[in-house]
Amino acid sequence: MTERIVLAYSGGLDTSVAIGWIHDATGAEVIACAVDVGQGGEDLDVIRQRALDCGAVEAVVADARDEFATEYCMPALKANALYMDAYPVVSAISRPVITKHLVAAAKKYGASTVAHGCTGKGNDQVRFEVSITSLAPELKCIAPVRDLALTRDKAIDYAERKGLPIETTKHNPFSIDQNVWGRAVETGYLEDIWNEPTKDVYTYTDDPAFPPVADEVTISFAEGIPVRIDGRPVTPLQAIQEMNRRAGAQGVGRIDIVEDRLVGIKSREVYEAPGAMALIAAHQELERVTLEREQARFKRTVGDRWTELVYDGQWFSPLKKSLDTFIDDTQRYVNGDIRMILHGGRAQVTGRRSETGLYDFNLATYDEGDAFDQSHAKGFIEIYGLAAKQAAARDVANGNGEDLGEAAQQDDA
């Protein structure tokens, strides 16, 4: 039987050329697998036919938008996943769901190898290959760009020689990856980190310097998941799509950072994630109302580690699964409404309410009805500061106390 290779297929130039390139280099039959995670663009049937026209023996297409939103974006939201406190792991969370469909296709068609279009310098090669071998350790992985010397120029020449039904151009300077959670742009003139992004970099967001009238939105959560927007029930996918539209119109979610890649390189990345950033801001604020103080502190540590694991391609790792359990437990009481004003690049929270929150007006108020017994504060401070008081007394007894002479002189002056 002829060897078969499943290729992660986008429908673009590089992966279209990779079908024939892989066959020529290995002799294997190529099965193209395209997964829709909300990246927009062409119809899946058009993409499937193009793969067949480019030489694939079979082409599998999957509409995974709801799956991606529910099983991948929502866990990222519950974790408040922001790598380096900025990047909402747009590409990182899409790789495991694409991988699941690649592995399923490999098993269905008896393929021994899975191929992807990543280079040897980026994070995605790690994410794909670690995820593939985590789900199916028997599968091998290849990357035509990295392993079979498929460059952009060679791809264009190959497509023109073979008459492949794909547009060939050398003019687009950017490398772009997008899905419903956001859009990532790199390379080209952006590699000079002094250069400012020009307006043609952005697609998901309008210029925040020229915003329309401010947009007020109320997002309702149940156990950390958005379930209604302005009172209207929404699925996770619908929540992201609506917030992409509304926050994007206000220029919310533009991110420009120098990022620490897994492979050790610092890379300049520009992201657009209007829906993700607005939803994370709302979710974080609701957690401030509903999570107990120590639980909230520890969850930030867990969320940071969860984000690092996902960024590093460890979605299916044992530790990430264990952290999922903790994060899910923290979301039990993350229920309620967050009101936000979207305007001029900002998503500003202006109101919160929760039936399961820990905010008590009668304890917080300084006005009539104050239920807080202030007479307890003196004893609390004595006990709270006792350890530090004892340590300070020891320092003084051993001549190591703080030198307050200069401060005292200044006070006298």
pLDDT of the residue at 42: 81
- Is a pLDDT exceeding 60 seen at residue 407? no
Task: Share the mean pLDDT of the chain.
Answer: 94
Q: Whole-angstrom Cα distance, residue 8 to residue 143?
A: 10
298: tokens are 């520890």
Instruction: Find, among 240, 233, 245, the residue nearest to 70 by Cα.
Output: 240
Per-residue confidence band for 15, with pLDDT thresholds at 50, 70 and 90: very high
Q: Which of 95, 183, 254, 268 is catalytic?
A: 95
Q: Whole-angstrom Cα distance, residue 129 to residue 199?
A: 35
**What is the share, in percent, of the chain residues with pLDDT greater than 90?**
83
72: tokens are 């991948």
**Residue 124 known to bind ligand:** yes
Instruction: Answer yes or no: 175 catalytic.
Output: yes
Q: Whole-angstrom Cα distance, residue 401 to residue 408?
A: 15
Instruction: Answer yes or no: 337 catalytic.
Output: no
What is the rounded average pLDDT of the residues 120-125? 91
Helix count (H) and strand count (E) of the chain? 16, 14
- Is a pLDDT exceeding 80 seen at residue 405? no
**Residue 273 known to bind ligand:** no
Give tens-digit pLDDT for 345-376: 999 999 999 999 999 988 888 888 788 888 99
Domains (range + CATH), the chain: 4-74+89-172 (3.40.50.620), 176-361 (3.90.1260.10)
H helices within 163-235, ranges in order?
A: none
Give tens-digit pLDDT for 264-300: 999 999 999 999 999 999 999 999 999 999 999 999 9
Give the phi and the psi of residue 217 in degrees, each rounded to 5: -135, 140
pLDDT of the residue at 408: 56
Distances in whole angstroms, Cα of residue 316 to Cα of each of 131, 132, 311, 323: 7, 10, 12, 11
What is the rounded average pLDDT of the residues 54-76? 97
pLDDT of the residue at 411: 60
Instruction: Answer yes or no: 124 catalytic.
Output: yes
**Residue 16 known to bind ligand:** yes
pLDDT of the residue at 170: 65
H helices within 27-93, ranges in order?
A: 44-53, 65-68, 74-78
Crossing angle between the packed helical segments 293-311 and 274-290, to the nearest 10 degrees: 150
**Residue 83 known to bind ligand:** no
Burial of 339 (0-12, 13-18, 19+ CB in 10 A): middle
Instruction: Answer yes or no: 183 catalytic.
Output: no
pLDDT of the residue at 152: 81
Q: Which of 124, 177, 206, 312 is catalytic?
A: 124
**Residue 385 known to bind ligand:** no
- DSSP-based three-state secondary structure for 51: helix
What is the rounded average pLDDT of the residues 245-254? 98
Q: Which of 4, 14, 206, 246 is catalytic?
A: 14
Q: Which of 146, 147, 175, 324 is catalytic?
A: 175
Q: Whole-angstrom Cα distance, residue 256 to residue 268?
A: 7
pLDDT of the residue at 56: 97
Give tens-digit pLDDT for 369-400: 788 888 999 999 999 999 999 999 999 999 98
